[in-house]
Chain A
Amino acid sequence: MKTVSVMIVGVGGQGSLLASKLLGRLLVDEGYDVKVSEVHGMSQRGGSVVTYVRFGDKVYSPIITEGEADIIISFEKLEAGRYAKYLKKDGKIVVNTQQIDPMPVIIGAAEYPENILGELTEKGVSVDALDALSLAEQSGSSKAVNIVLMGKASKYFDIPYEKWITAIENTVAPKFVEMNKKAFELGYNS
């Protein structure tokens, strides 16, 4: 099997770490060779964060370069635009339509592109967009954006629904399991 490359991108503090932990664990249980790579440190302070997840029979490089990603899961619109160049020709972007202004936009030094997802679609990119923040709030917490997105993205993986649910049960703290299961379901059905 060829190595599959998944990028999880977003803004520091959005919970992409838990998403990659969930996916990584699931893929190991499925018997794949797996590598997950992220950069800690400065990126936690509201910066752009990117996690690479790669799986297959044998994975060498822990990182993904331009034109290589099968799937990009973006926690924020602008970040989808930033990392779109990493997508394969027939790859998919699952994106949360939430807008989080970066500091250069906040202080008026730059503009937030108005129709970034439309631009990508026009270029032939397959964009699967959803308002993950609203769905997360519906599930009980705005912090569940990560699990909503994983629910949406799960249809692009050859892994049965129940296994995702088991992975959630094994990954998140017991008192948040029900809320996260609900979040996953809302994303899955969206």
Chain B
Amino acid sequence: MDMKKLLIGNQAVAEGLHDGGLGVVSSYPGTPSTEITEFLSKFDDIHSEWAPNEKVACEVAFGSSLAGARSACAMKHVGLNVAADPLFTLSYTGVNGGMVICVADDPAMHSSQNEQDSRHYAMAAKVPMLEPADSMEAYTFAKNAFELSEKFDTPVLLRMCTRIAHSQSIVETSEKQPAVLKDYEKNPAKYIMAPANAIKRHPFVEERTLKLQEFAENCEYNTVEMNSDEIGIITSGCSYQYVKEVMGDSASVLKIGMSYPLPVKLIKDFASKVKTLYVIEELDPFIENHVKALGIECIGKENFSILGEFSQATIAKAFGKELPESVSADSAIPNRPPMMCAGCPHRGLFYTLAKNKITALGDIGCYTLGSAPPLNALDSTLCMGASISGLHGFNLARGKDAEKKSVAVIGDSTFMHSGMTGLVNVAYNATNSTVIIVDNSITGMTGHQQNPTTGYNIKGDPASKVDLEALCKALGINRVKVVDPYDLKACNEVVKEELAVEEPSVIISRRPCVLLKSVKAQPPLKVDEDKCKSCKRCMTLGCPAISMKDGKAKVDATLCVGCGVCKQLCAFDAIV
């Protein structure tokens, strides 16, 4: 079975979990974790699924573990916030079949709303965490995590970060372990975490942590390379690669592959053999604080930032090495920010909100791009689901006037994830809030994953489909309107009408994502230059297919999908 493959870290995790005998995986997509589950869905010998959110996914993995299967779930760092509730008590119950929770951090926030460090969760929930530094380790750590989980009776966190998750490196896979379904036996003392039982499980958790710490002293995950008695570096994950790139064999390195619990003797021993000790880790001083708590002096965050990602240049600078020369152009290079695609169904809706100067509390998805110029249509983005609950709070604080001028904007997948509870609250605690569900029939930003509103499951097979209109009504909203966001007039009318009414309402702005294969593009539009009066009204849409060339509007035929929204704006019928 040995074969050299060039795999992204996430695919390596998927193959590792599969070859480790995985039975069930349940996840919610989130960059940079999504591909783990996408690659797992290609294996027919395991059950894979997209859950509505990370909490559900984690609990599904718990149930499968309880039943005796090896299970997993995968999420981005902020997804673990959502799954934190089951995580903390899973630490008490432990597992039956091995269980792995994959969590992908995003230093430098390539595609995230914050830069949180998931290692704190391992410590807070008292569960072990493994941290691979390339795809080969991602494969091995994922595969071996099940044994660790079963041996110590604990879920195992597998921490990825963007540069490990999305970098390809060479992997040699090894023999697949068969997926075994262990016996299930009822065990209330272990699995019913009511106070009387949980009180007895807590000492088990503390003892387990001590045992894991003992394991960390000698395990395969933490390795020492003694090269120098001058400089010693404790590092982990991608930082290890940067350190090796710059320092080569000129420094001794203690590479931490098990981020929690951290070893004590191993660190003391390593520190005693070097003159100057450095701790080089991205994000928070997690290892550094541990080292300092052991009474060991080290150089850490004073030289290596708490912010963003590192690179070989970070290390080179810190050790006073010369950086390579470079040249750059003198002209200012304009930014090229991501934007809503030509023909994006969200555009018509955001244009309507911007035109009417409406306060819009936004959410997490492609539609966050509605905040960009020239539309500037959003007022806030906090976390998954926060648009609806946030709007309710906004309206409570500012009263009736605000209710007439403010909306929440949330996508179909995000509404399923954690928007529904907010909507229940709007109905139950009665604000006249107007909630807009931008339903593009897919989970867009993470690269087109199915969700409970699309009618298809992770494998693309037909599945139960949530009826959003019926759901909103069942949650207590009597007014539910559906509008096509390509129809600007209808959009304007429905938004004005629903803002005016004295009761909560939902507008479903419905049209499938233009990038879906099932969506057929219309012929591109053209500008009749004789009719174009250069008023630039079409430019207010922020469509990447429209620009001004030699004083006239011009439609880029390679980008235009003929959605016709700009045509409706043109007062001179110049767009045909």
Whether the pair A43, B542 counts as a contact (CB closer than 8 A) is no
For A102-141 the 0/1 string (1 means CB < 8 A from B) is 1111111111111010011001110000000000000000
Whether the pair A62, B167 counts as a contact (CB closer than 8 A) is yes
List residues 31-74 of chain A with CB under 8 A from any CB of chain B. Answer: 33-48, 59-63, 65-68
For B364-380 the 0/1 string (1 means CB < 8 A from A) is 00100100111000000
* Complex interface: chain B residues within 8 A of A186 (CB): none
Whether the pair B170, A41 counts as a contact (CB closer than 8 A) is no
B326, B330, B333, B340: the one contacting A67 at CB < 8 Å is: B326
Please give the number of chain B residues whose Cβ is less than 8 angstroms from any Cβ of chain A in the complex: 58
User: In the complex, A9 Cα to B31 Cα: how many Å?
Assistant: 21
Q: What class of interface size applies to chain A in its complex with B? A: 35 or more
* Complex interface: chain A residues within 8 A of B148 (CB): none
Nearest CB on B from A46, distance (A): 5
Whether the pair B166, A88 counts as a contact (CB closer than 8 A) is no
Whether the pair B168, A110 counts as a contact (CB closer than 8 A) is no
Which of B77-85, B240-248, B463-471, B481-489 touches A? B240-248
Whether the pair A60, B339 counts as a contact (CB closer than 8 A) is no
B544 within 8 A of A: yes
Nearest CB on A from B306, distance (A): 19
Whether the pair B373, A84 counts as a contact (CB closer than 8 A) is no
Tell me which of A42, A66, A87 has the highest count of chain B C-beta atoms within 10 A of its own C-beta: A42
* Complex interface: chain A residues within 8 A of B324 (CB): 66-68, 88-89
B31, B313, B334, B548: the one contacting A40 at CB < 8 Å is: B31
A78 within 8 A of B: yes
Are A107 and B374 CB-contacts (below 8 A) given A36-B168, A89-B325?
yes
Whether the pair A28, B6 counts as a contact (CB closer than 8 A) is yes
A151 within 8 A of B: no
Whether the pair A37, B168 counts as a contact (CB closer than 8 A) is yes
A15 within 8 A of B: no
* Complex interface: chain B residues within 8 A of A124 (CB): 327
User: In the complex, A64 Cα to B544 Cα: how many Å?
Assistant: 30
Nearest CB on A from B402, distance (A): 30
Nearest CB on A from B65, distance (A): 29
Whether the pair B336, A25 counts as a contact (CB closer than 8 A) is no
Whether the pair A109, B373 counts as a contact (CB closer than 8 A) is yes
Whether the pair B335, A61 counts as a contact (CB closer than 8 A) is no
User: In the complex, A82 Cα to B167 Cα: how many Å?
Assistant: 22
Whether the pair A37, B167 counts as a contact (CB closer than 8 A) is yes
Are A102 and B168 CB-contacts (below 8 A) given A44-B447, A67-B326?
no
* Complex interface: chain A residues within 8 A of B331 (CB): 81, 113-114, 116, 119
Are A113 and B245 CB-contacts (below 8 A) given A45-B341, A62-B163, A66-B324?
no
Nearest CB on A from B318, distance (A): 13
**Can you name the residue of chain A whose Cβ is closest to the Cβ of B543?**
A106
B169 within 8 A of A: yes
List residues 519-567 of chain B with CB under 8 A from any CB of chain A. Answer: 539, 542, 544, 546-548, 558
B332 within 8 A of A: yes
User: In the complex, A52 Cα to B51 Cα: how many Å?
Assistant: 33
* Complex interface: chain A residues within 8 A of B168 (CB): 24, 34-37
* Complex interface: chain B residues within 8 A of A84 (CB): 326-329
Nearest CB on A from B415, distance (A): 21
User: In the complex, A40 Cα to B369 Cα: how many Å?
Assistant: 16
A-B residue pairs in contact (CB < 8 Å), sample of 8: A24-B168, A40-B111, A47-B336, A88-B324, A107-B373, A113-B331, A113-B332, A124-B327
B residues contacting A by CB (< 8 A) are: 4, 6, 31-32, 34-35, 110-111, 134, 162-163, 166-170, 238, 241-242, 244-245, 311-313, 323-341, 366, 369, 372-374, 445-447, 539, 542, 544, 546-548, 558
